[in-house]
């Protein structure tokens, strides 16, 4: 669900989401309990005639649509590795936006996944404005979720905060327009082909296609928590299968937690990476030899396979951070993209073919703005703490196991480096005591939360959303889950 824009204060957000999630679970559990109770009450008497076939659930109205959103494939900086040298110079795969509209007869939700690094606030506002002009209040802030597959090889230049503008060389209209048009067009197509249909859910596990990007950090989780899981990564593939009333497939939505970084930071071809390739394979499979009327989409969240030695004591590479690039399992990045994409495709296809658990129930959506600099988080029965302004720390500069930073920073650092702090401070200003105290013990390198020239560097207010379709809940948050 890679809506990604802020790096800090995730704890508070996670707590908020956890609460939302628990609330949703309770609602779902209650609904299931109600349904079970009702079924029990209407059980036929022993003397009654044999039960007729189970009543059909009310169908949804479902629309699916896909549109190209590739944009210019030359000279635009690619978004993801924050590498200004990485400018587009050709196309590896085209980029698509895929839209799903689900309507229960009363309410409607739209879920869009686009082959981009992330959705920015700016991009979202432009898409919502275009939708408002076409559809009035039908598609709104609260019922439209936009997400990115998090490819690191899509165009940049669609951001409004300085931090993200630096690596993508400002705001690039030539890059934004095709993205907005592609996303809106995918929604138009889904809107035009809405028809009665059903949704089925299935899930399974996919091995050998992801690895923890920071195993050392993972080990800092409490043991009793780690014991609840058999792996240090989430290997679940979740599939939603959409059919018409004849049972013919019209689309699929699938989630698998892998970081779309099979293509590495040396790549200069626009690419939808492993996730986009998996979608492409399924679409080709279902629409042989033609442009898809049928839509497959994959949305992703977090991890990737890295070839760093899991035995190293720190997830920061010991000798040279650059040795920690994510690559594998292929001989080169094209081969790796193909293998990981193929694995996801095969698993999703299998789950799609065997999905029988029908999703039923009403459609709901909610949206909220959150001032991330001021969220209260109860940490125990007597203490409540508050989040504060964002900042980038020394550990940020260290990068992760699947992509180290350029300089000699290490993960988990709790002491600043006077040399770098001095340079950053002289150039960008030192953090206030309040912000320093709030981030302690993590030392601040870039005081982005207090920098406002020429425009604010880091968002303070972000939006969060939840969509529910029966017992399926999709939580949309602007962050990179890991
Ligand atoms: C990751 O890729 C390497 C090859 O580069 C492979 O040996 C390893 O088994 C893969 N790990 C997982 C968890 O799939
Ligand atoms: C990136 O991929 C290219 C081509 O597959 C490969 O030659 C290069 O070594 C890779 N770079 C890193 C840092 O993994
Ligand atoms: C967000 O919260 C901070 C701290 O309470 C406050 O100073 C700031 O004005 C708020 N931002 C907005 C835009 O309301
Ligand atoms: C709650 O957390 C605070 C701050 O970490 C700590 O000082 C206090 O002892 C904790 N109280 C309880 C009851 O755990
Ligand atoms: C990087 O940091 C490590 C540990 O602090 C140090 O031993 C090493 O010499 C540093 N390397 C460079 C190139 O500065
Ligand atoms: C910030 O803290 C330092 C050291 O604790 C102190 O010398 C300084 O006066 C403080 N600045 C402000 C503005 O309070």
**Atom 3, ligand 1: which residue's CA is nearest?**
329
- What are the helix and strand counts (H, E) for the chain? 11, 21
Predicted confidence (pLDDT) at residue 309 exceeds the cutoff of 90: no
Query: Looking at per-residue confidence, does 131 or 8 come out higher?
Result: 131
Q: From the CB of 327, is ligand 2 less than 6 Å away?
A: yes
Residues with CB under 6 A from ligand 4: 379-383
- The tens digit of pLDDT for each residue in 231-254 reads 998 899 999 999 999 998 889 999
Helix (H) or strand (E) holding 368: strand 363-371
- The tens digit of pLDDT for each residue in 265-280 reads 899 999 999 999 999 8
> Under a CB-based contact definition with an 8 Å cutoff, are residues 171 and 160 in contact?
yes
Query: Looking at per-residue confidence, does 37 or 201 come out higher?
Result: 201
pLDDT of residue 429: 78
- Give the number of the atom of ligand 1 that is nearest the alpha carbon of residue 336: 5
Q: From the CB of 371, is ligand 3 less than 6 Å away?
A: yes
0.85 surpassed by pTM: no
> Under a CB-based contact definition with an 8 Å cutoff, are residues 55 and 93 in contact?
no
Predicted confidence (pLDDT) at residue 199 exceeds the cutoff of 90: yes
Summary mean pLDDT of the chain: 81
Dist CA 284 CA 274 (whole Å): 15
pLDDT category of residue 394 using cuts at 50, 70 and 90: confident
Query: Looking at per-residue confidence, does 153 or 310 come out higher?
Result: 153
Q: From the CB of 461, is ligand 3 less than 6 Å away?
A: yes
If you measure from the C-alpha of residue 443 to the centroid of ligand 6, how many angstroms do you get, rounded to a whole number? 16
Residues with CB under 6 A from ligand 1: 208, 211, 305, 307, 328-329
pLDDT category of residue 392 using cuts at 50, 70 and 90: confident
Predicted confidence (pLDDT) at residue 360 exceeds the cutoff of 60: yes
pLDDT of residue 160: 86
**Atom 6, ligand 2: which residue's CA is nearest?**
332
Closest of 474, 475, 470 to residue 34, by C-alpha: 470
Domain map (residue ranges) of the chain: 60-317+337-367+466-476
State both tokens at 260: 């779309």
Q: What is the mean pLDDT of residues 457-479?
A: 92
Q: What is the mean pLDDT of residues 110-124?
A: 93
Predicted confidence (pLDDT) at residue 343 exceeds the cutoff of 50: yes
**Atom 7, ligand 1: which residue's CA is nearest?**
329
């Amino acid at each position: 669900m890679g809506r990604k824009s802020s790096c800090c204060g995730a704890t508070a957000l996670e707590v908020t989401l956890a609460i939302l999630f628990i609330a949703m679970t309770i609602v779902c559990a209650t609904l299931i309990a109600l349904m079970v109770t009702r079924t029990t009450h209407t059980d036929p008497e022993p003397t009654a005639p044999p039960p007729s076939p189970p009543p059909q659930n009310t169908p949804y109205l479902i629309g699916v649509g896909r549109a190209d959103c590739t944009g210019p494939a030359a000279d635009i900086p690619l978004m993801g590795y924050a590498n200004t040298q990485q400018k587009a110079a050709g196309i590896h795969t085209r980029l698509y936006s895929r839209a799903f509209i689900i309507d229960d007869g009363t309410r409607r939700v739209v879920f869009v996944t686009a082959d981009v690094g992330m959705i920015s606030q700016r991009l979202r506002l432009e898409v919502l404005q275009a939708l408002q002009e076409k559809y009035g209040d039908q598609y709104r802030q609260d019922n439209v979720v936009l997400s990115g597959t998090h490819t690191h090889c899509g165009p940049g230049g669609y951001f409004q905060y300085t931090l993200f503008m630096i690596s993508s060389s400002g705001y690039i209209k030539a890059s934004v327009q095709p993205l907005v048009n592609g996303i809106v067009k995918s929604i138009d197509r889904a809107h035009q082909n809405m028809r009665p249909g059903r949704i089925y859910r299935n899930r399974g596990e996919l091995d050998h296609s992801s690895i923890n990007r920071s195993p050392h950090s993972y080990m800092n989780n409490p043991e009793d928590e780690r014991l609840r899981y058999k792996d240090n990564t989430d290997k679940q593939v979740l599939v939603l299968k959409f059919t018409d009333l004849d049972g013919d497939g019209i689309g699929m939505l699938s989630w698998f937690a892998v970081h779309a970084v099979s293509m590495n930071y040396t790549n200069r071809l626009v690419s939808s990476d492993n996730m986009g390739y998996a979608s492409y394979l399924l679409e080709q499979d279902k629409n042989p030899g033609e442009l898809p009327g049928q839509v497959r989409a994959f949305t992703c969240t977090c991890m990737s396979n890295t070839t760093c030695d899991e035995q190293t004591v720190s997830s920061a590479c010991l000798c040279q951070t650059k040795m920690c690039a994510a690559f594998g399992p292929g001989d080169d990045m094209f081969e790796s993209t193909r293998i990981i994409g193929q694995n996801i495709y095969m698993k999703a296809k299998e789950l799609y073919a065997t999905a029988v658990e029908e999703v039923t129930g009403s459609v709901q959506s909610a949206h909220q703005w959150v001032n991330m600099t001021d969220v209260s988080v109860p940490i125990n029965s007597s203490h409540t703490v508050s989040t504060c302004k964002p900042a980038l720390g020394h550990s940020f500069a260290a990068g992760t196991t699947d992509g180290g930073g350029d300089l000699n920073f290490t993960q988990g650092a709790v002491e600043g480096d006077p040399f770098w702090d001095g340079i950053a401070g002289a150039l960008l200003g030192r953090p206030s005591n309040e912000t320093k105290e709030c981030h302690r013990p993590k030392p601040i390198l870039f005081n982005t939360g207090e920098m406002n020239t020429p425009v604010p560097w880091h968002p303070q207010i972000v939006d969060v959303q939840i969509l529910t379709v029966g017992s399926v809940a999709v939580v949309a948050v602007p962050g990179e889950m890991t």
